[in-house]
A and B are shown apart, each in its own frame.
Chain A
Amino acid sequence: MIEVKNLTKRYGRKVVLNNLSFDVQKGEVVGFLGPNGAGKTTTIKMLTGFLPATAGEIKICGYNVCEEANDVHKSLGYLPENNPVYSSMRVCEYLKFIAKLKGVPFRKVGSHVDEIIDHCDLDNYRKAVIKNLSKGFRQRLGLAVALLGDPEVLILDEPTAGLDPYQVVQFRKIIERLTQKHAILISSHILSEIELISNRIVIINDGELIVKGNTTELLDNMDSGGTVYMEIRISDGEDVKSELEALEDIIRVNSLDFFSNGWIAVECEVAHFDDSREALFGLITSNKWILRELRSSRHTLENLFLEMTKEKNNE
């Protein structure tokens, strides 16, 4: 559905995007991530045909973005970063206007707009003037605009920016409903959201592709399996750190905080997420330490993102 091959963008001598390639298939939600200034919005503007590429090729539903812009725009639903809307219009009137511009047949405009309004839970606001809508409902309206004309590809630039947690959850539910019928590319800074929604991710930094692939596989292939947090009480003079690091499964001790009465909070990075707690519990019982908490957590997309973008920044 979206094919990007060797995409490059230069402004004069400055290379904003260098040789980027990725694709998005039907039924997939791909998270497009990167720090500020990485080139995400530039890439998205090129995907929508608003900016031309200096080199490379973009195809949306098989249409070349440069040569067949009109066909591309018919197959594309786009929610820009700041979600610009004609604020003086009413919700229903605005949606009908955009639906007609998107080429929805005149007789079907009403029913199609009703369907989209229903899909985006905007039913109670169909007669509201857009400037009076809250941020969350404006974002829903932006998504409704993107969905008009039933495009096969959706490109959403920061769709959850500025929404409260309740609105974010509702927005996620709407996106989940759309997954089967569309190919969706979402750019966002809210990594927990991307982790929940997306099947695959593409991370860029300084205009270069850092990593792309299946989110679960990428998390599994990280240097460590996750972290384990525990709170234990030890006898005086014991070297907890070296004892823990002597375990095969422990990669490193991240932090060691001493509380009163001999209690210590330890956070360790472990090689294998599933096995580490057993080995740790064995060590605790053999040393006769007292345990009051032991919990493990997998690496999140945030860990992966920070690791990947940090590596690039350190180069």
Chain B
Amino acid sequence: MSKTFLIFRREVGVYFYSTLAFSIFCVFLASTGFLFLQMVQAEMGTRVTLSTIMFKLLFYCWLPIIVTFLSMQFFSDERKSGQLELILTLPVTVSQLIAAKFAAALWFLLLIILTAVSYVCFVEITAGGNIAGIITNLMGGILFIFFFGMFVLSIGMFVSTCTPNQLVCATLTFVFIFAFYFLGYVIDLIPKIPTWVKEFLNIPIFMNNFCDGVIDSRPLVFCFTGTILFLFYSIRVLEVSKHR
């Protein structure tokens, strides 16, 4: 059995051994349900779809919080307890370790996204909507949230390899995520930057387009390459810090 898969399984187990996963899920399901209801009532009569409301809620509210929590779990605690030393003196490479931890966190994030999406499905189906149409609407949003979540998780992973302090890790990850949210608005204020660059870095606009079913490959490529880059940096940082 692949060592990456073994570590992945253990990491997934860790989320559910501890109360972390359960508490995140409880808080998440309760508050998402409440906020979703409030937002649906507020947008009643407008042309905004249910899936757009849910993805905005996920994108602006839950993604930064969950990714920050997950980032705190990556390496900070293992460094402090010495478990990192133990695992890195086994026949396991740093890349295998990073890949397994990242995959486990991504799996958890996907579970969260799918749970949130189930609200929309439930409301749409009970309202007698067209299932094919609902799935088409949801796919764009899921795709974007998943890719963007993957990207910000890789940033969290990178930050976690840089600092043994969980609080610093959480703060920096949160700041990095919000920097991407506001990057588009900040760049918009600088006149000399070409329009295509401004469009490219305006992440919230891409989010809206995906929710409307407009699938644009540019942000997906951006998030994917960004993820690879930050994972590569994480591997290098861990190898260098191991060899310091």
A contact face: mostly helix, strand, loop, or mixed: loop
- Do B82 and A80 touch (CB < 8 A)? yes
Given the interface contacts A88-B14, A100-B1, does A80 sit within 8 Å of B86 by beta carbon? Answer: yes
Interface residues in A79-111 by Cβ distance below 8 A to B read 80-82, 84-86, 88-89, 97-98, 100-103, 106
Query: Cβ of B1 and Cβ of A106 under 8 Å apart?
Result: yes
Q: Assess the B6–A102 pair: CB atoms within 8 A.
A: no
A136 at the interface (CB under 8 A from B): no
Interface residues on A, range: 20 to 34
Q: Kindly name the residue among A49, A51, A101, A103 whose own CB sees the greatest number of chain B CB atoms within 10 A.
A: A101
Residues of B contacting A48 with CB < 8 Å? 89
Binds A, one of B41-49, B90-98, B141-149, B209-217: B90-98
Mark the stretch among A69-77, A209-217, A241-249 that contacts chain B: A69-77
Which residues of chain B come closer than 8 Å to A51, judged between CB atoms?
A: 242-244
| B6 to A, closest residue via Cβ | A100
With A and B bound together, what is the CA distance between A45 and B243 in angstroms? 10
Is B18 on the interface with A (CB-CB < 8 A)?
yes
With A50-B85, A88-B14 known as contacts, the answer to whether A70 contacts B6 (CB < 8 A) is: no
Asked if A52 is at the interface (CB within 8 A of a chain B CB), the reply is yes
Instruction: Say whether chain B's binding surface is mostly helix, strand, loop, or mixed.
Output: helix
Tell me the residues in window 70-120 of chain B with beta carbons closer than 8 Å to chain A beta carbons: 81-83, 85-93
Inter-chain CA distance A123–B153, complex, in Å, is 41
Q: Which residues of A contact B14 (CB under 8 A)?
A: 86, 88
Q: Contact: B82 with A101, CB < 8 Å?
A: no
Interchain CB contact under 8 A, A84 and B91: no
> CB of A32 within 8 A of chain B?
no
| A-B pairs under 8 A by CB, number | 62
| Interchain nearest-CB distance for B17 vs A (Å) | 4
| B10, CB-defined interface residue at 8 Å | yes
Q: CB distance B91 to A74 under 8 Å?
A: yes
Judge whether A88 and B18 touch: CB under 8 Å.
yes
Q: How far is the CB of B239 from chain A (nearest CB, A)?
A: 10
Q: Pick the contact of B89: A76, A82, A97 (CB < 8 A).
A: A76
Question: A70 near B93 (CB under 8 angstroms)?
Answer: yes
Q: Is the CB of A97 within 8 A of B86?
A: no
B86 touches A78 (CB 8 A): yes
Contacts of B1 in A (CB 8 A): 100, 106
- Measured CA separation A80–B14 after assembly (Å): 22
Minimum distance in angstroms from A5 CB to a CB of chain B? 20
CB atoms of A89 and B91 under 8 A apart: no
Task: For A73, list chain B residues within 8 Å (CB).
Answer: 89-92
Question: In the complex, what residues of A have CB within 8 A of residue B82's CB?
Answer: 80-82, 84
- Contact, CB under 8 Å: B85 / A101: no
With both beta carbons as reference points, the residue of chain A lying nearest to B86 in the complex is identified as A84
**Whole-angstrom distance from the CB of B73 to the nearest CB of chain A?**
13
Name B182-235 residues within 8 Å CB distance of A: none
Chain B residues whose CB sits within 8 angstroms of the CB of A76 once the complex forms: 89
A102 touches B10 (CB 8 A): no
Report chain B residues within 8 Å CB of A74: 91
The residues of B that contact A100 with a CB separation of less than 8 Å are 1, 3, 6
- For B7, the chain A residues whose CB sits under 8 A away are 101
- Bound-complex Cα distance A102 to B7 (A): 12
Nearest CB in chain A to that of B3: its residue:
A101
Query: Are B86 and A101 in contact, with the CB atoms below 8 A?
Result: no
A103 and B88 alpha carbons, distance in the complex (Å): 14
Contacts of B92 in A (CB 8 A): 73, 101
Nearest CB in chain A: distance from B5 CB, A: 10
Q: Which residues on A sit within 8 Å (CB–CB) of B18? A: 88
Closest partner residue, chain A, to B96 (CB atom): A101
A84 vs B85: C-alpha distance when bound (angstroms): 8
Select which of B85, B89, B243 is within 8 A of A52 by beta carbon. Answer: B243
Cα of A102 to Cα of B1 in the assembled complex, Å: 11
Chain A 14-53 per-residue mask, 1 if CB under 8 angstroms from chain B, else 0: 0000000000000000000000000000000100111110
Q: Is the CB of A101 within 8 A of B91?
A: yes
Looking at the assembled complex, report how far the CB atom of A197 sits from the nearest CB atom of chain B, in whole angstroms. 23
Closest CB in chain A relative to B199 CB, distance in Å: 46
Instruction: Knowing A86-B10, A88-B17, say if A103 contacts B86 (CB, 8 Å).
Output: no
- The minimal Cβ–Cβ distance linking A160 to chain B, given in whole angstroms, is 18
**How far, in angstroms, from A243 to B12 measured CA to CA in the complex?**
77
Query: Known: A80-B85, A84-B85. Contact between A97 and B10, CB under 8 A?
Result: yes
The reply to whether B91 and A70 form a contact with Cβ atoms under 8 Å apart is yes
| Proximity string of chain B (1-42) to chain A, C-beta cutoff 8 Å, 1 when within and 0 when not | 101001100100110011000000000000000000000000
Q: What 3 pairs between A and B have smallest CB-CB spacing?
A: A84-B82, A88-B17, A73-B91
Would you give 21 A-B contacts (Cβ < 8 Å), ordered by A? A45-B85, A49-B89, A50-B88, A50-B242, A51-B242, A52-B243, A70-B91, A76-B89, A80-B85, A82-B81, A84-B81, A85-B83, A86-B83, A88-B17, A89-B10, A89-B13, A100-B3, A101-B6, A101-B91, A102-B90, A145-B86
Chain A residues with a Cβ under 8 A of chain B: 45, 48-52, 70, 73-74, 76, 78, 80-82, 84-86, 88-89, 97-98, 100-103, 106, 145
